[in-house]
Amino acid sequence: MKQHKSSEEGAAQSRVITQRVACEWRRAYVLAADPRRLPEWASGLAKSALVPHGDHWIVRTPESGEARMRFAPRNDFGMLDHWVAPEGVPEIYLPLRVIGVAPDACELQFTLLRQPHMDDAAFERDAQWIARDLRTLRDLLEAD
């Protein structure tokens, strides 16, 4: 079965998905940077608790089963990048930032990078899933 590709086949495509949060950015960073809290808000990535394993974590994903994850080191810049390697698939880079926009507000910014195997529908589905997960993180941060 042949997959339909967009007219931008071969070109790198990305989409920045944002969510405004009524929360000081450092507090948002601390919660979002904790791998143990990922299942509370990242339904597209973590189906259950992450298990530490050396310099990475093992996660059960909703679509591809078990995967290895690693995270950017703690930093003062709001960088929450992470890398996921599902079984048999090259590692996927997931850039995520938390940016202070006011003393009591921040913005979450996730850059969705289109993977080579993704058709237009899969790319759109991932974008919608990420937007939903960022809203869940917003709700968690604003309730905390």
Does residue 6 fall inside a structural domain?
A: no
> Residue 71 sits in which domain range?
14-143
Does residue 77 fall inside a structural domain?
A: yes
- Given a cut of 70, is residue 2 above it in pLDDT? no
Q: How many CA atoms lie within 13 A of 25 on its CB side?
A: 19
Does residue 2 fall inside a structural domain?
A: no
Reported pTM: 0.86
Beta-carbon neighbour count of residue 131 at 10 Å? 16
Does residue 41 fall inside a structural domain?
A: yes
- Given a cut of 60, is residue 92 above it in pLDDT? yes
Q: Greater confidence, 86 or 22?
A: 22
Q: What is the rounded CA–CA span in Å between residue 13 and residue 15?
A: 7
The mean pLDDT of 2-7, rounded to a whole number, is 40
- Terminal-to-terminal C-alpha distance of the chain: 47
What does the pLDDT read at residue 4? 40
Read off the pLDDT band of 46 (50, 70, 90): confident
Segment of 11-15, 56-60, 105-109 carrying the highest mean pLDDT: 105-109
AA letter at 29: Y
Does residue 1 fall inside a structural domain?
A: no
Does residue 40 fall inside a structural domain?
A: yes
Site of tokens 């003062």: 76
- Structural domains of the chain, count: 1
